[in-house]
């Protein structure tokens, strides 16, 4: 069995020697692709007998990576970044691990990756996983300008073996503050370019959120975090939870956004039930609203997940610490005491716990009532009084169209809208959307934007369509979104007209208009 160690480098004299030293006794060859070094990087590589190739930098990390794969002659490839090295404790395990793993048994090996900050004495930032070893195969290529993915015949790797830290561990030093600051502007430009050019721009939304957070551009960080979550995120990759973490961090900065934070926490727990900090954060949101029973339940789940290290069953890291667990225990006990106090409230005074439990019952009731046949209307009408006040006009209007929804009903409609979008049939959705016709253009615009965030293009289209073209709400972003809806409806020419109108009005600079215009052009060219 022959092993090849591959690198792409540029001005890495400070870290390259340590990385190559960690592999020199395990591999048979070094393949180094240099993209324009002006320091001693190339000479250091040659000290290790590396085959060095030059590839001019074209703002594309995949191109030099694929060149290195082409030049490697090993049965297995170990592909490290110059600022990564195999830990001293596990350096001797590489060849023995591969000797016991036939190449056909795995598409790749995911190695534990410990990120440390060299500016602060090697402080551990986070532990995650990354595919750094794979068999050389036909059709194995990297794709993407930045944060590139390894694919086999254009598909993400499906058979990935995950190693444990005691077997083989990579140490990554590239996240120190001084280095991160230097990389930020470069990464942003490359991400924006890929978003504009790619047929799958959603791949970079989460990375953009991360970059903008580092630049303290919180509005853009929040925007792209939401877009990443709405697109389904990068569920097949490590650290897919990053956008949830960014969004929760931003929402926690102001108290008046507690309801939003609560909803995002619920989504995060649904998506990543084994990550203890998400359950703990949800518990804090519930306690802040007086929902102590739920808060205790979710905090207990967080502590149990931490105790059994449940997140290690998946790819995601956890930032929950022993100190956080100790604090969580104290918080949970205080809520349990509060619940005992609430049991003795004077008659007629309803605790927030009771209100929340009623809200959950009514949520399920609304979902059920939207699925009932006409013959069951009488039973539904008998249940309507149980609905909370903000849902009552919606339920009544849905069944007999007798009540016109008022502006104060908009919040109830918005909440119910998400439930309907997630669970109702197309016919039910259309009828429910028609109920919004009497809302003002301002409310309609907010509701349509919710549908856009959820990627329900048809629902967004119906709500945008109820806004007069001359209304104040019909701004550049409005026309951009309408154009996107037309595109997803297959109306490419009309989409182009709307997108050009948005462009003329000066839409926000997120690249969406240019990307969709480009797609419309490509479709037209093939028509």
396-442 pLDDT, tens per residue?
A: 555 544 445 667 677 777 777 877 777 666 777 777 788 787 788 88
* Cα distance between residue 30 and residue 45, in whole Å: 8
Residue 181 CB contacts under 8 Å (≥ 6 apart), including other chains? none
pLDDT digits (tens, 9 = 90+) for 165-205: 999 999 998 765 555 566 788 888 899 998 988 888 888 89
For residues 74 and 3, the answer to whether their CB atoms sit within 8 Å is: yes
Residue 284 has pLDDT above 90, yes or no: yes
* Cα distance between residue 432 and residue 313, in whole Å: 41
For residues 398 and 434, the answer to whether their CB atoms sit within 8 Å is: no
Task: Output DSSP code: residue 244.
Answer: H
For residues 407 and 440, the answer to whether their CB atoms sit within 8 Å is: yes
End-to-end CA distance of the chain: 51
pLDDT digits (tens, 9 = 90+) for 489-499: 888 899 999 99
Question: Among 46-55, 98-107, 415-424, which is the least confidently predicted range?
Answer: 415-424
* Nearest in space to 460 (alpha carbons), one of 430, 499, 503, 502: 430
* Cα distance between residue 410 and residue 415, in whole Å: 9
Residue count (the chain): 527
* Cα distance between residue 522 and residue 525, in whole Å: 5
* Cα distance between residue 437 and residue 413, in whole Å: 12
* Cα distance between residue 146 and residue 198, in whole Å: 12
Give alpha helix (H) positions in 72-176: 94-99
For residues 213 and 223, the answer to whether their CB atoms sit within 8 Å is: no
Which pair of tokens denotes residue 404?
């016109």
Helix (H, G, I), strand (E, B) or coil at 159: coil
Instruction: State the pTM of this model.
Output: 0.60
Which pair of tokens denotes residue 109?
């090996």
Q: Check residue 184 and give its pLDDT.
A: 81
Q: Check residue 355 and give its pLDDT.
A: 44
Pairing relation of β-strands 140-143 and 84-86? unpaired
Q: Check residue 440 and give its pLDDT.
A: 86
List C-alpha distances in Å: 192 to 144, 188, 207, 233, 424.
12, 6, 10, 17, 36
Residue 248 vs residue 203, higher pLDDT? 248
Q: Check residue 395 and give its pLDDT.
A: 54
Q: Check residue 348 and give its pLDDT.
A: 37
Task: Output DSSP code: residue 391.
Answer: T
Residue 155 vs residue 71, higher pLDDT? 71
Which pair of tokens denotes residue 93?
């395990």
Average pLDDT for residues 96-111, to the nearest whole number?
84
* Cα distance between residue 113 and residue 171, in whole Å: 6
Which pair of tokens denotes residue 266?
């619920």
Q: Check residue 12 and give its pLDDT.
A: 95
For tokens 């197309």, what's the residue? 426
Q: Check residue 327 and give its pLDDT.
A: 93
Kindly state the percentage of the chain with pLDDT values over 90.
Answer: 41
For residues 269 and 278, the answer to whether their CB atoms sit within 8 Å is: yes
């Amino acid at each position: 069995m022959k092993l090849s160690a591959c690198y792409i480098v540029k001005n890495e004299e400070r870290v390259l020697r340590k990385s190559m030293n960690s592999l020199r006794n395990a591999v048979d060859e070094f393949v180094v692709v240099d993209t324009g070094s002006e320091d001693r990087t190339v000479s250091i590589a040659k000290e290790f007998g590396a085959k060095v190739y030059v590839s001019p930098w074209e703002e594309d990390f995949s191109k030099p990576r694929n060149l290195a794969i082409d030049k490697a002659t090993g049965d297995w490839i170990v592909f490290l970044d110059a600022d990564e090295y195999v830990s001293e404790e596990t350096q001797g395990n590489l060849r023995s691990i591969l000797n016991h793993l036939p190449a056909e048994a795995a598409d790749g090996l995911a190695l534990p990756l410990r990120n440390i900050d060299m500016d602060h004495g090697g402080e551990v930032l986070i532990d995650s996983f990354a595919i750094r070893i794979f068999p050389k195969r036909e059709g194995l290529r990297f794709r993407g300008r930045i944060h590139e993915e390894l694919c086999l015949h254009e598909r993400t790797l499906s058979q990935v073996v995950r190693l444990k830290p005691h077997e083989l561990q990579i140490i990554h030093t590239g996240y120190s503050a001084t280095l991160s600051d230097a990389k930020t502007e470069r990464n942003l430009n490359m991400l924006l370019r890929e978003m504009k050019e790619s047929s799958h721009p959603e791949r970079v939304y989460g990375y953009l959120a991360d970059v903008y957070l580092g630049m303290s551009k919180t509005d853009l960080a929040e925007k792209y975090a939401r877009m990443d979550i709405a697109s389904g995120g990068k569920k097949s990759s490590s650290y897919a939870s990053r956008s949830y973490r960014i969004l929760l961090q931003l929402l926690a900065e102001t108290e008046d956004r507690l309801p939003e934070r609560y909803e995002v926490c619920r989504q995060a727990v649904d998506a990543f039930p084994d990550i203890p900090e998400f359950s703990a954060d949800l518990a804090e949101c519930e306690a802040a609203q007086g929902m102590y029973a739920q808060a205790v339940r979710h905090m207990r789940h967080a502590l149990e997940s931490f105790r059994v290290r449940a997140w290690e069953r998946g790819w995601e890291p956890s930032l929950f610490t022993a100190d956080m667990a100790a604090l969580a225990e104290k918080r949970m006990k205080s809520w349990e005491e509060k619940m005992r106090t609430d049991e003795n409230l004077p008659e007629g005074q309803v605790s927030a716990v009771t209100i929340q439990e009623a809200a959950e019952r009514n949520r399920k009731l609304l979902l059920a009532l939207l699925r009932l046949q006409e013959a069951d209307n009488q039973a539904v009408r008998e249940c309507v009084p149980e609905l909370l006040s903000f849902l009552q006009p919606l339920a009544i209007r849905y069944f007999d169209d007798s009540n016109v929804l008022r502006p104060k009903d908009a919040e109830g409609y918005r909440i119910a809208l998400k439930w309907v979008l997630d669970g109702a049939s197309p016919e039910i959705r259309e009828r429910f959307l028609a109920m919004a016709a009497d809302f003002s253009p301002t409310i309609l615009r907010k509701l349509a934007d919710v549908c856009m965030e959820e990627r329900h293009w048809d629902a967004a289209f119906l709500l945008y369509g109820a806004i007069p073209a001359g209304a104040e709400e019909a701004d550049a972003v409005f026309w951009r979104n309408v154009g996107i809806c037309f595109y997803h409806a297959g109306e490419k020419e009309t989409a182009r007209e709307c997108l050009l109108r948005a462009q003329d009005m000066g839409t926000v600079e997120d690249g969406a208009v240019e990307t969709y215009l480009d797609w419309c052009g490509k479709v037209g060219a093939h028509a």
